[in-house]
Amino acid sequence: MELTENNQPKSEEVEGVQIDPHQAMIDELKEKRSQASQGGGKARIDAQRAKGKQTARERVYKLLDEGSFQEVDALMSHRHTDFGMDQQRFLGDGVVTGFGKINGRRVCVYAQDFTILGGTFSEVAGQKVSKLMDLAMEAGVPVIALNDSGGARIQEGVHSLDAYGQLFWRNTQASGVIPQLSVIMGPCAGGAVYSPGLTDFIFMSAQTSNMFITGPEVIKTVTGETVDFETLGGASAHSATSGVAHFVGSSEDHTLELVRTLIGYLPSNNAEPAPAIVPEDDPNRKDALLNRIVPADPNEPYDMKEVIIRIVDTGSFFEVHENFARNALVGFARLHGQVVGIVAQQPMYLAGCIDIDASDKMARFVRFCDAFNIPLVTFVDSPGFLPGVVQEHGGIIRHGAKIVYAYSEATVPMVSIVTRKGYGGAYLVMGSKSIHADLAFAWPTAEIAVMGADGAVNILYRKQIQEKENAAEERKRLIKEFREKFSNPYQAAKFGFVDEVLIPEETRPRLIGALELLRDKHHTRFPRKHGTMPL
Ligand code: HXC
């Protein structure tokens, strides 16, 4: 464009029509924006839709509040020429980055655009995402990544690898500073899985997403195993078996809705409190059914999820890792409008025993809540760590230690309630008073002891029982005696290990009162670089 002496655009006359130079500049920009918004073109967008997937921009618009998305770096493109790359230059270069709002709260978001070179991660993608993450950390807002990519862009060689390195480094720096959410909406293969793996929560869309380090072909070559994409790394494999994914959406829209819901419980950063809402539920509500929810028979299961749902603000329990290690329960909820993290055992699975997966699930959740100032409420009903060679050889010692470590390190308000079995290690590690819970409650049904009556009697009285003629009767008598003495909350309450024995229906008002007291809890630690948590 020609300029005047004052550097102003010169008006032009084309075929007798005067062209407005300012309008021409705006039109040029609009044209570029329109080009950028077309991703890799109609054919690739059609192919994307045919796979049941939406485009990157469609996803971003659905995720964010209407009209709130502000894109940045839409005009960046790569500088590479080898392997025909000069013929494949698209504005935006395979990732849409920007910021917007979810229910009025600020977030940064990036969405890989599979229609551009398979959404592959490139030098430019790395620059764009790194810039966005720096922005998010400065602004103190969560980052949400919508992943749909063939991984590192092969044509750009080490530049693509560096791009991932830059992202991994930032994921680590941002850890515990701002919440990081990864949403898998297509393939996520090779080293690409490590960015989601470093973030706080992973969502997967059923049927259309998968995650794996090495794909079916490599596995076939190396180990001889035959496996398809879905079985290997689909949403159900990762939500139920590996525990890599925390949430599964039945469709892309449902997945994005789950992301919006989770954001509603999270603070924007580690210096802010989690978002409270005006409470609608009565803080003094007493649910009489709780008084009878624990069966009289100590071996009969009951649903701990129902206990939680009846105590927290109505409709507020949002479970995390629902399908993984179901013998443990973790999730967010509200008590009198304030966000809390719930950790519990589920007697309906493995009698609530703590195994390797449950240890990882609970420890990780406790650490997230502690990093982001979310108070912890723990419901305990566990007969102990799961016995067995598989568990021992799988490293239950190392994994179980994570729970003790996570609770012992946590400085947020912590209140625990033993509803039934609190035996040995399982009692201690679950936010007990001894590892510095602020307040420990128990229900009258609680049994706090080194171990269950059967096991204890076997160890203490084996000889005595064997010597008796009526051994079975004697065993029964001793178990009864032991239960009367130790299988109740009153020994623990007598010595102050339990602060109060509650009638179960009192739990909600008591919890709300306790957390109100602890709202401004402060805690100082010995200075250290960081602990050496057993990983
Ligand atoms: C460059 C790639 C690519 C890649 C896909 N494409 N992956 N281009 N680098 N890594 C291109 C394809 O050539 C194609 O281009 C377009 O993206 C769409 O891919 P299709 O194969 O047609 O799509 P689909 O059939 O849906 O299969 C998707 C896919 C498959 C499953 C992701 O493309 C695939 O397996 N890609 C390789 C996945 C992988 O192994 N990634 C790991 C890379 S190594 P056209 O022009 O035809 O549309 C890695 C290491 C990182 O990531 C290390 C970091 C620490």
Centre of ligand 1 from the C-alpha of residue 118, in Å: 6
Q: What residue type is 219 in one-letter code?
A: I
Residue nearest to atom 20 of ligand 1 (CA): 118
Residue 1 has pLDDT above 60, yes or no: no
356 lines ligand 1 (CB under 6 A): no
Residue in 82, 114, 117 to alter for ligand 1 test, most ligand atoms within 8 A of Cβ: 117
Residue in 112, 154, 198 to alter for ligand 1 test, most ligand atoms within 8 A of Cβ: 154
State how far the Cα of 2 lies from the Cα of 13, in Å rounded to an integer.
12
151 lines ligand 1 (CB under 6 A): yes
Encode pLDDT of 458-499 as tens digits: 899 988 888 888 888 999 999 999 888 888 999 999 999 999
216 lines ligand 1 (CB under 6 A): no
189 lines ligand 1 (CB under 6 A): yes
State how far the Cα of 360 lies from the Cα of 348, in Å rounded to an integer.
19
Burial of 196 (0-12, 13-18, 19+ CB in 10 A): buried
DSSP for 119-156 reads G-B-HHHHHHHHHHHHHHHHHT--EEEEE---SB-GGG
- Mean pLDDT on 5-11: 66
pLDDT of residue 2: 64
422 lines ligand 1 (CB under 6 A): no
Counting atoms of ligand 1 from 1, which one is nearest the CA of 149?
A: 32
Residue 56 near residue 113 (C-beta atoms within 8 A): yes
Residue nearest to atom 15 of ligand 1 (CA): 117
54 lines ligand 1 (CB under 6 A): no
Centre of ligand 1 from the C-alpha of residue 210, in Å: 13
pLDDT of residue 467: 87
Strand ranges for 354-483 from DSSP E: 376-382, 414-423, 439-442, 447-449
187 lines ligand 1 (CB under 6 A): yes
Residue 330 near residue 342 (C-beta atoms within 8 A): yes
Confidence of residue 396 (pLDDT cuts 50, 70, 90): very high
161 lines ligand 1 (CB under 6 A): yes
Residue 210 near residue 216 (C-beta atoms within 8 A): no
Which one has a higher pLDDT value, 453 or 375? 375
Counting atoms of ligand 1 from 1, which one is nearest the CA of 194?
A: 55
pLDDT of residue 190: 84
Nearest to 330 by CA among 269, 403, 428, 408: 403
Encode pLDDT of 35-51 as tens digits: 999 999 999 999 999 99
Centre of ligand 1 from the C-alpha of residue 211, in Å: 13
| CA of residue 320 relative to chain centroid, distance | 6
Counting atoms of ligand 1 from 1, which one is nearest the CA of 229?
A: 31
pLDDT of residue 104: 98
Residue 179 near residue 142 (C-beta atoms within 8 A): yes
Residue 5 has pLDDT above 90, yes or no: no
pLDDT of residue 468: 86
Share of the chain above pLDDT 90, in %: 85
Confidence of residue 524 (pLDDT cuts 50, 70, 90): confident
- Mean pLDDT on 263-269: 98
Counting atoms of ligand 1 from 1, which one is nearest the CA of 153?
A: 9
Residue 255 has pLDDT above 90, yes or no: yes
Three-state secondary-structure class, residue 314:
coil
Counting atoms of ligand 1 from 1, which one is nearest the CA of 161?
A: 54
- Mean pLDDT on 90-114: 97
Angle at which helix 356-371 crosses helix 396-409, to 10 degrees, equals 20
152 lines ligand 1 (CB under 6 A): yes
153 lines ligand 1 (CB under 6 A): yes
Per the annotation, the verdict on 426 as an active-site residue is yes
Per the annotation, the verdict on 264 as an active-site residue is no
Average pLDDT, the chain: 94
Residue nearest to atom 41 of ligand 1 (CA): 151
Centre of ligand 1 from the C-alpha of residue 274, in Å: 39
Confidence of residue 13 (pLDDT cuts 50, 70, 90): confident
pLDDT of residue 10: 67
pLDDT of residue 4: 67
pLDDT of residue 309: 98
State how far the Cα of 82 lies from the Cα of 438, in Å rounded to an integer.
62
Nearest to 195 by CA among 182, 213, 206, 210: 182
Residue nearest to atom 1 of ligand 1 (CA): 153
Which one has a higher pLDDT value, 79 or 171? 171
pTM, 2 dp: 0.94
DSSP for 275-306 reads PP----S-TT---GGGGG-S-SSTTS---HHH
- Mean pLDDT on 113-132: 97
Strand ranges for 296-413 from DSSP E: 318-320, 328-335, 338-345, 376-382
Per the annotation, the verdict on 190 as an active-site residue is yes
192 lines ligand 1 (CB under 6 A): yes
Domains in the chain (CATH in brackets) are 35-263 (3.90.226.10), 288-446+488-520 (3.90.226.10)
H-helix segments, 487-534: 490-494, 507-517
Confidence of residue 6 (pLDDT cuts 50, 70, 90): low
Which is the catalytic residue, given 165, 394, 425, 455?
A: 425
